[in-house]
Amino acid sequence: MIEAPLAVAFAAGLIAIMNPCGFAMLPAYLSYFMGTDQGEGRSGAESLRRALVVGGVMSLSFLLIFGVTGVAITAGFRAVIDWIPYVALGIGAFVALLGVAMLFGYQLTIGLPKAKTASKDRGLRSVFVFGLSYGAASLSCTLPVFLSVVAAQLTATSFISGTATFLVYGLGMSMMLIAITIVLALGKQTIVGRLRSSVRYVNRASGVVLLAAGAYIVWFWATNIGEGADALNDSGAFRLTESLSQRATEVFGENALLWALIFGGLIAATVAYAFRPTLRRDNRTGSGARRRNLLTTASAVGVLTAVVGVGIFAASPFTGGGASPVAAGTSIARQGPLAPDASFALFDGTTSTFADHAGRPLVVNFWASWCPSCVAELSLAIAPVHATFGEDVAWLGVNLQDERSEALKLIEETGVTFELADDPVGDLYRAFGGFSMPFTAFISADGVIVEEHNGPLTENQLEDLIVELFPVEHGALAASDAG
């Protein structure tokens, strides 16, 4: 029996490429793809086949970097975490240099893999390296979620359950990347077809975006290393990037089933169309078997999409198949699920449960010292709002997949004084059904989860939620006539 939270894993994979740490890599990837060989003389079907290959290679490399890093940390090699910012800094420099090269005319050629085509193989290797870079740049913000939702399943549950969770996470990530690449290929064909005289500028425009993205990544990680993540709060660029990332999390994360069907249908239709010219040639030469095989492949993709959609829908808490809600930043009915019936270790060495907090509203915030968005939220939103409502609302900070010493250092720097719990393998995080970081849950005085929010909150957003969910008047909780 597979008990893995597949709906949560799929949603987490779907938004993995849109995290705040690596968000600048998304436009970099768009520009990277647009800046490759301009496709003159290539049919629409050939361009789409190329897009499928590029998207698949990107997905494989992205998932590989997450899998290897996750296994290493799970096995005890947590020193990897300390190197992530420096690796990401180097990646930013690499992206910026690639942008400069494109500004001066460098053009990457990517083709379909064929025998004895070394230049095309080199092009795909470049895509693979770019995918590894994208994944590495995203690790600090996304890895805590990956470790809790996916990697921990391999050790906490059955092998089948853990493998299923990993595959579904990879499916969500791959569908997003491949769908984006397909849309880019279609847009690129339009540019080539209608604006042939302007095509030569696409490569340089792509270089500008790559240079800007690389410069942002260098600044982001240099600031994070040199001054600490809370220093990012003063930057409008950081706030804009985080806001866009949060919006993407809400749009795609809370509608994971819908996007699974949309992306799956797009990919299935692309496979069917992209191989259509091949099918006709094979039919004229009498190669009906190959035609049937390719048609079967396209049909299988469509069937697989439907099966995945039904499976995710069945596992979704909105149909009763899951234990906890997964909507990002969306209100949950006050008759919602109860807080998890679980005990957890506090930083002071004692053990507590959510039942111990009955009779008083509770804000539960999941964070990690190596998650820049978490650090920024702690200092910019959590600390000031806790200072305002700390006497009326109970607070619990849950440190996820972190080193105790680093967590305590961060708490001291931010000045928060609420109760702290440890979630070393993500048991509590999975119980709540989170799929992004930071993650905040709001629990009523009678133990009901009334709201969950995936992603960072601003001070105003957090204040508004507390006032709305736990009615407050002049700094003191008042009885609510509305219930």
Confidence of residue 175 (pLDDT cuts 50, 70, 90): very high
The last residue of a domain, from among 319, 341, 356 = 319
pTM of the model: 0.70
One domain for residues 175 and 131: yes
The last residue of a domain, from among 319, 348, 369 = 319
One domain for residues 198 and 134: yes
Q: What is the CATH number of the domain that holds 373?
A: 3.40.30.10
One domain for residues 112 and 173: yes
The residue with tokens 């595959």 is: 167
- pLDDT, mean of residues 97-117: 65
The last residue of a domain, from among 267, 293, 319 = 319
Q: How far is CA 388 from the centre of its chain?
A: 32
Angular region, 453: left φ>0, alpha ψ -120 to 50, beta rest: beta
Q: Is residue 348 situated within a structural domain?
A: yes
One domain for residues 410 and 305: no
**Portion of the chain with pLDDT greater than 70, in percent:** 72
16 or 297: whose pLDDT is higher? 16
The C-alpha atoms of residue 415 and residue 286 are separated, in whole angstroms, by 75
pLDDT at 200: 59
Under 8 Å between Cβ of 122 and 393: no
Q: Is residue 438 situated within a structural domain?
A: yes
Task: Supply the range of the domain harboring residue 415.
Answer: 330-477
One domain for residues 150 and 247: yes
One domain for residues 312 and 389: no
Query: For residue 309, is pLDDT > 60?
Result: no
One domain for residues 216 and 337: no
Residues 455-466 pLDDT 10s: 889 899 999 999
One domain for residues 303 and 375: no
* Most confident option among 141-155, 304-318, 368-382: 368-382
Q: Is residue 385 situated within a structural domain?
A: yes
Q: Is residue 482 situated within a structural domain?
A: no
Q: Is residue 325 situated within a structural domain?
A: no
Residues 6+ apart with CB under 8 A from 343: 351, 352, 353
At position 330, the amino acid (one-letter code) is T
Counted domains in the chain = 2
- pLDDT, mean of residues 37-57: 74
Q: Is residue 203 situated within a structural domain?
A: yes
What are the angstrom distances between the C-alpha of 24 and each of 54, 212, 217, 459? 19, 9, 7, 24
